[in-house]
Amino acid sequence: MARSFRYYGKKRGHRRTGSPVVGRAGEAIFWAVLLLLGCGGIVVLLFQFVVPEWRVNHEFVATTCKVLDKQIGERRGEDGPLFRPEIRIEYDVGGTTYRDWHYDIHQHKINGGYFGKRENAQAILDQFTVSGPAKGPRYPCWYDPTNPSVAVLVRGYRPWLWWVFTVPASFVLIGAGGLVYTLLQWGKSAEQRAVLAQRVQERDFFGAGSDPSAYLCVPLGADITNSPGIRLSFRLPMTRAPAWALFGALVFCVVWNVSVFVAILIGLHMAGPAGWFLAVFLPLGLIGLGAIALFVRQLAVATRIGPILLEISGHPLRPGAQYRLFLSQAGRLTVRDLRVSLVCEETATYRQGTNSRTETQEVERHELFRRQQLQIERGRPFETELDLNVPEGAMHSFKADHNEINWAIRVESDLDGRRTWKRSFPVIVLPAPGDAGR
Amino acid sequence: MSAEPTVVIRLDGDGSVYQPGETLSGHFWIDARDADQVKAVEVSVLWHSEGKGDEDMAVHEFCRHEADGVPPIDFGRPQRFSTTLPKSPLSYEGQMIKLRWCVRVRAFFHRGKEVVGERQFQLGNVPPLRVRPPA
């Protein structure tokens, strides 16, 4: 007989996959515990702080009192001593005279009303004058009509109290949201859950649905066509500006060399000039020198290679269609090999243990232009127009949560036979018109 | 009729390659001695990814049929389904990524048992990736 409930699922190799029912139950329990903690926290805060202060403001009866004595109460807290003002007052209620130590309503709880600064407590005490044998000043006070021995000299709410509520309130929000989400998905198939998630994603906050004429999972590429070209329709943006690579080399060079320099200074101080540390830090110092040389070299190349510009006659692209490209490379350099290609890359994101990894692989390359031994002089950029034929049957651009198919025009400049400068200009390829229109 | 229940899915036409905007239609039935024990069936037309990355999935068409609906449904007899296919994403056979379209029928039995049947088809005419980049 088929079981409707399993503690564990299929065995895969040496491990068993978890039961979805147990997993969902655990998830629901987790959210419920979070929700209960939040609710409990709110209830405790309400009854400990809000309700007593509300009663003082709305139910306590006003009268006057005289101050008999005053002192600073002190007790040891976890982070040091805590203080509170304590004022001995005398007041009459219904012919009965009450004398006790009071200040605010929190003093009537065990260890209540304390705070960290002694000078604050002293400042409060300084507001009250102790009555001598002669008639002294009288101060307003408020007593509890259900228990007249409870009285206060101040009323109002503590403003910081409302901020404390944000902690349990966030527990309530997260717990309730998680619980509702888990219960909504309870007993539903993977397909039904996917449909629910899609409906949420497709609706924006104003209730508008997604455009039914749009291509699903095909990026819009709006940022690609927001810059008009000079010769052709659009100027294509670059994925990574070379200045960032240069900046990265500079940061590495500075951090590495400063670290090694400081380490050598400390080593010299501790071990003397012929210390063992030189054997350790000499190779690291050589790496630092290498980093400086690399940075200077990159800087020299970057100053020689001027801005590169790529314009296109139309966008987005369609398989089988032809477009024109305009390439402009400024600078002062000799390029051994300049290539322009249309490339397609697959990008996959996957979980490995607790890490998320992303892998990219070039899967298609169509060379559009190639020129060797190209001399570029300052003030006279190399400019050329070329054809871009998107191959028939090319897969369209695709973007989902974990998988992507991206197209780009890549310009590669081989400067000295060892280093190749690559610039990538992303483009969007739509499904072929025949595929979409039939 | 087999001892273990199975889902049989038949697509109209050639049943293998469809174009965006085309109508995909067919029928399914539950091949089981106790087909009357099926309480509900979900029919989905969906795409999902295979390969190195974690799975992405999106359902284009979803329909749930309850056996005790009005009128009651006998899932042992062929039940029709039909949908207009979307413009994208097209089926794709790449190196790290594969995108597959299928009709998936999930039958829920009264005692909690589930039986799933799947019929793949190709959307669009993107040929399998053969052009490999130079090393």
Q: Which two tokens stand for residue A252?
A: 């590495």
Nearest to B20 among A191, A401, A436 (CB): A436
Using 50, 70 and 90 to split pLDDT, how confident is the model at A374? confident
What is the model's pLDDT at position A2?
42
What is the model's pLDDT at position A438?
37
The larger pLDDT score, comparing residue A203 to residue A351, is at: A351
DSSP code string of A400-431: -SSEEEEEEEEEEEESSSS-EEEEEEEE-BPP
SS3 category, A104:
coil
> CB–CB of A3 and B21 under 8 A?
no
Residue ranges and CATH numbers for the domains of chain B are 6-80+91-123 (2.60.40.640)
Would you list the domain boundaries of chain A? 61-154, 239-304, 305-437
The model's pLDDT over A220-258, given as tens digits with 9 standing for 90+, comes to: 888 888 889 889 999 999 886 666 777 888 888 888 888
Å between B70 CA and nearest CA of chain A? 22
What is the model's pLDDT at position B25?
95
| Chain centre distance of CA A286 | 38
Q: Which two tokens stand for residue A367?
A: 């060379």
The model's pLDDT over B47-76, given as tens digits with 9 standing for 90+, comes to: 999 999 999 999 999 999 988 877 788 888
What is the model's pLDDT at position A273?
57
Instruction: Using the predicted structure, report yes or no on whether residue B7 has a pLDDT greater than 90.
Output: yes
Weakest mean pLDDT among A113-117, A430-434, B130-134: B130-134
- Compute CA distances B113 → A1, A3, A289, B39, whole Å: 9, 7, 68, 10
Look over chain A and give the mean of its residue pLDDT values, rounded to a whole number.
84
Strand duo A403-414 + A333-352: pairing: antiparallel
Instruction: Using the predicted structure, report yes or no on whether residue B99 has a pLDDT greater than 80.
Output: yes
Å between B23 CA and nearest CA of chain A? 10
Query: Average pLDDT in the A283-305 region?
Result: 80
What is the model's pLDDT at position A430?
94
What is the model's pLDDT at position B78?
92
What is the model's pLDDT at position A279?
66
Between residues 72 and 91 of chain B, which touch chain A (CB distance below 8 Å)?
86-90
Domain A305-437 belongs in CATH node 3.40.1110.10? no
DSSP code string of B24-83: EEEEEEEE-TTGGGEEEEEEEEEEEEEESSPP-EEEEEEEEEETTSSS---TTS-EEEEE
What is the rounded distance in angstroms from the CA atom of residue A319 to the CA atom of residue A431?
Answer: 7
Interface contact A192, partner B, CB < 8 A: yes
Query: Average pLDDT in the A52-61 region?
Result: 92
- Tell me whether residue A105 is exposed, middle or buried, using C-beta atoms within 10 angstroms of its C-beta: 0 to 12, 13 to 18, 19 or more: buried
Using 50, 70 and 90 to split pLDDT, how confident is the model at A213? low
Q: Which residues from B are below 8 Å from A4, CB to CB?
A: 111-113
What is the model's pLDDT at position A4?
45
